[in-house]
Structure 1
């Protein structure tokens, strides 16, 4: 345990300013989203752009592709907030069997495609974990867009694998940000469950 802590503290000393800035904007985005403030979108866009660069540099190519998706969704979310805010949101529901079939197809199809691309078209040293993190996050984001309770489960499966992957790739701040997101997703699950049970 003491050895792990000393390695972690040593890694913290070597963190670039850019990583600190990227993680700070990522934390700010989550806090602004929780407070329901439109500033979450420009903050998130900055966080994602920095993350894409850092993940490419670290050889986490599937994570970079995942962040490109987040970039598109942030731009769309910002536009929707400004121009379509009066539209009624989808209600929170539980995933049906058809939703689970689609979720499974996204996870399996995404994993296979990403793994093959990472394995044969890049110099990735972690194609299995990188592909798995992104494929499960894609599925979670699809469930989130449909306002399904189980989105939090898929997102946290992704987070649970991403945390050790980010530590392994010597990105301890991003690993800690992912721990933070894991905790937020746990609270999100129980909050949505409470809302669903009120209906």
Structure 2
């Protein structure tokens, strides 16, 4: 049996062994990204449902930074849902406009990524039984920054989220979470389309750069 056959056999066995909670959480996650790509505010509802189920799965496999990340997702999803329809800055559709990040927002993103990584790595390395502190901290910190930009409807959120997804794919597979590995691959692809869709929307608008 070749190494490739062994890989696919192992992948299939892990897929079959996935729990119902993992399956439902992944389905909600797919719906969340699909509606986010389509610029629909309902994506926050499916995101909240997916996060709630995902927390149980992550605790079982000791991905502690991912747990903190998902709690952050939960709070930012509520904030993003509110910010999406905040008045009076909303556009004619009653929504906050999509915009490119300002310099201040980019500085905030850099701080979240750098400070978040070193803080999480230090905690995971010294105070938990995590066996993947560096990867776990990297995925979480870049996803934090991306989610913050998504909540503020900034174009660059897709870039930050995909940097996180790129590292999360092998990390989740290493932990035996095959369905979440597949979901993250799906998220990676959808984030590319999300970026292209938002760019198409923003090119037809008068506002381009955030004034925040």
Place the TM-score, normalised by the shorter chain, in its bin: 0.7 to 0.9
Aligned-partner Cα distance in 2 for 1:102–1:41: 23
- Distance verdict in 2 for CA 1:143–1:41, change over 3 Å: closer
Aligned-partner Cα distance in 2 for 1:96–1:77: 18
- TM-score by length of structure 1 reads 0.87
Match of 1:145 in 2: 151
Secondary structure in 2 aligned to 1:111? helix
Larger mean Cα displacement after TM superposition, 4-13 or 161-170: 4-13
- Distance verdict in 2 for CA 1:85–1:163, change over 3 Å: farther
**Superposition map of 1:5-154 within 5 A:** 5-33=8-36, 34=38, 36=40, 38=42, 40-77=43-80, 88=90, 89-154=95-160
Match of 1:162 in 2: 168
Larger mean Cα displacement after TM superposition, 149-158 or 24-33: 24-33
What number of residue pairs does the alignment pair up?
197
State the Cα distance separating 1:185 from its structure 2 match. Answer: 0.6
Q: Which has the higher contact order (CA 8 A, sep 6+)?
A: 2
| Structure with the larger helix share | 1
Larger mean Cα displacement after TM superposition, 139-148 or 6-15: 139-148
State the Cα distance separating 1:72 from its structure 2 match. Answer: 1.8
Aligned-partner Cα distance in 2 for 1:149–1:122: 35
1:197 equivalenced with 2:200 (yes/no): no
- TM-score by length of structure 2 reads 0.82
Secondary structure in 2 aligned to 1:179? helix
- Distance verdict in 2 for CA 1:194–1:37, change over 3 Å: closer
Question: Which segments of 5 or more consecutive residues in structure 2 lack a partner in the other structure?
Answer: 206-212
Q: Choose the corresponding residue for 2:179, options 170, 173, 178.
A: 173
Question: Which segments of 5 or more consecutive residues in structure 1 lack a partner in the other structure?
Answer: none
State the Cα distance separating 1:57 from its structure 2 match. Answer: 0.9
Q: Is the 8 A contact 2:162 2:191 kept in 1?
A: yes
Secondary structure in 1 aligned to 2:195? helix
Match of 2:208 in 1: none
State the Cα distance separating 1:85 from its structure 2 match. Answer: 8.1
State the Cα distance separating 1:32 from its structure 2 match. Answer: 4.4
- Distance verdict in 2 for CA 1:56–1:17, change over 3 Å: same
Secondary structure in 2 aligned to 1:21? helix
Larger mean Cα displacement after TM superposition, 134-143 or 94-103: 94-103
